[in-house]
């Protein structure tokens, strides 16, 4: 039997703090201390990559870089690079446009005061494989007022060597600024991760299967994606129509040329996974079913309805990753339209899947998300995920059939959030992870993301006074009771 553990899902942007958004400073270390006191051995985050004004960590300018918004303002002050600032409201929802404007100004001020630092030069050398391309992309995006790379001058969009060399010379100071910001991010993250690991806490990250078209990744590796002569996608990612949407979901990400990636042993994916396993102790791979088969939609379609299934790389990619990196501590996000072929791929690879308790009720005793149907312990059990309503919100809106089923399993008429957490903890799943909103018993107003809704996501922040000794004690008691 695998070692049992429990953990909390909380993205660092949701931490309280005086700078409009959670950061990788004292607030993150305080949360690590809470996890340790609460007997938790896992901290799950969402992707830590740079975001746009929507704040979505699943739409990023780079699959390798860290989010500048997470750089610790307090450490910049402590290092003498910034003056102490007037604190903002510690737990206000994130206003991304406002936070981004303030943070960029602060980072530029700090950069202007930064002296020679041998550690920065060492960081540049160690991360040169992706850092130089990312920093050049970021500097060019700034030069072209935030335009997508396909709208830049054609010689730069198509990466003509002479044009890239001139841009690297002309934008040398801006490039160095973006490299320095990454240096600060990685320093801060290493401090947080080191503290967590010393406290016996593993950090689980998140790796989206696809990348954004407007990203350093696609711009620098255009031959690895289905693009036309102008760099625009010819086909894009999505999911097919289902019970929830008669037109499916059109995500719009460019699709990989898996045949070309296979020619060099999936080198880009190897480096991407290497970076993820540098940042995290384990990684949840989002939309795992896309590695078995993915939904391909012509880029000129307005919905995902007219797509079709295309075979993914299946085992070949993971064999290449294991050959290069060894055993992979990854979790398959195997939710949604999962076929027997997807389950077989997951099981051949020996990867843990996910079990979501919100999905377990109202359809009879054979529902695969019911704890008595797990069958083995190689699962990560959740109350809900970042895409679900909070458990309190779900309980308030669940159907009559769902609540009747849940009451029978809990054994009492009045069901509370803690009952659902106990079901996750008591299951055979080796890992049990609960969103912080559920630990706090919060309602739908604390929901982090509503898929298919463009506005109002990714802004929730935890109240500064939420993590109390009493809360830690109750969580520890529950963890110990269920051997976690």
CA 428 to CA 149: how far, in whole Å?
48
Angle formed at CA 64 by CA 51 and CA 205, multiple of 5 degrees: 80
Q: Beta partners for 431?
A: 5, 380
Of residues 188, 333, 334, 389, which has the active-site annotation?
A: 333
Q: How far is CA 477 from CA 199, 327, 482, in A?
A: 18, 33, 9
CA 284 to CA 47: how far, in whole Å?
10
Is residue 249 within 8 A of residue 452, CB to CB? The reply is: yes
Q: Enter the tokens of residue 72.
A: 């610790």
CA 477 to CA 481: how far, in whole Å?
6
Catalytic (active site) residue 323: no
Of residues 133, 179, 206, 286, which has the active-site annotation?
A: 286
CA 47 to CA 444: how far, in whole Å?
23
The owner of tokens 């760099």 is 231
Q: Beta partners for 204?
A: 44, 282
Q: Who contacts 427 (Cβ-Cβ below 8 Å, separation ≥6)?
A: 355, 371, 374, 379, 381
Other C-beta atoms closer than 10 Å to the C-beta of 197 total 13
Catalytic (active site) residue 229: no
Is residue 443 within 8 A of residue 401, CB to CB? The reply is: no
CA 186 to CA 440: how far, in whole Å?
30
Catalytic (active site) residue 126: no
Adjacency order of strands within the sheet including 330-332:
330-332, 282-285, 202-207, 42-44, 5-9, 431-435, 379-382, 353-356
Of residues 91, 387, 419, 464, which has the active-site annotation?
A: 387
Catalytic residues, by residue number, are: 286, 333, 387
């Amino acid at each position: 039997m695998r070692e049992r553990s429990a953990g909390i899902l909380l993205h660092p942007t949701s931490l309280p703090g005086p700078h409009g958004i959670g950061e990788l400073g004292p607030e993150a270390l305080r949360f690590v201390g809470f996890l340790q006191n609460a007997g938790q051995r896992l901290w799950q985050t969402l992707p830590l990559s740079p975001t746009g004004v929507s704040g979505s960590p699943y739409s990023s300018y780079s699959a390798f870089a860290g989010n500048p918004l997470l750089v610790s303002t307090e450490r910049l002050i402590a290092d003498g690079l910034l003056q102490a600032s007037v604190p903002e409201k510690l737990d206000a929802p994130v206003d991304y446009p406002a936070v981004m404007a303030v943070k960029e100004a602060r980072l530029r001020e700090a950069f202007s005061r930064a002296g020679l630092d041998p550690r920065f030069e060492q960081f540049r050398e160690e991360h040169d494989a992706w850092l130089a391309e990312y920093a050049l992309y970021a500097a060019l995006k700034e030069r072209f007022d935030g335009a997508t790379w396909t709208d830049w001058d054609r010689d730069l969009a198509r990466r003509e060597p002479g044009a890239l060399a001139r841009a690297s010379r002309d934008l040398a100071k801006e490039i160095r600024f973006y490299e320095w910001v990454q240096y600060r991010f990685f320093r801060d993250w290493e401090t947080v991760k080191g503290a967590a690991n010393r406290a016996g806490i593993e950090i689980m990250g998140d790796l989206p299967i696809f990348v954004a078209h407007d990203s350093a990744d696609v711009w620098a590796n255009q031959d690895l994606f289905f693009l036309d002569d102008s760099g625009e996608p010819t086909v894009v990612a999505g999911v097919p129509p289902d019970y929830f949407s008669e037109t499916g979901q059109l995500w719009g990400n460019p699709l990989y040329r898996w045949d070309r990636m296979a020619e060099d042993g999936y080198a880009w994916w190897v480096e991407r996974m290497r970076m993820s396993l540098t940042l995290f102790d384990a990684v949840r791979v989002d939309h795992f079913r896309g590695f078995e088969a993915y939904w391909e939609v012509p880029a000129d379609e307005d919905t995902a309805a007219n797509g079709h299934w295309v075979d993914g790389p299946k085992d070949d990619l993971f064999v290449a990753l294991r050959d290069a990196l060894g055993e992979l501590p990854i979790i398959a996000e195997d939710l949604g339209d999962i076929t027997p072929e997807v389950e077989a791929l997951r099981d051949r690879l020996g990867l843990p899947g996910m079990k979501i308790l919100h999905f377990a009720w109202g359809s009879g005793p054979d529902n695969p998300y019911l704890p008595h149907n797990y069958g083995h312990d190689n699962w990560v059990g959740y109350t809900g995920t970042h895409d679900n309503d909070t458990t309190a919100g779900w309980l308030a809106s669940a159907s009559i059939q769902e609540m009747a089923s849940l009451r029978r399993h809990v054994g009492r008429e009045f069901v509370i959030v803690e009952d659902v957490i106990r079901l996750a903890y008591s299951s055979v799943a080796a890992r049990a992870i609960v969103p912080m909103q559920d630990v706090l018993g919060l309602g739908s107003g604390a929901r982090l993301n509503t898929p298919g809704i463009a506005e109002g996501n990714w802004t929730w922040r935890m109240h500064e006074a939420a993590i109390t000794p009493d809360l830690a004690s109750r969580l520890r008691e529950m963890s110990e009771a269920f051997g976690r």
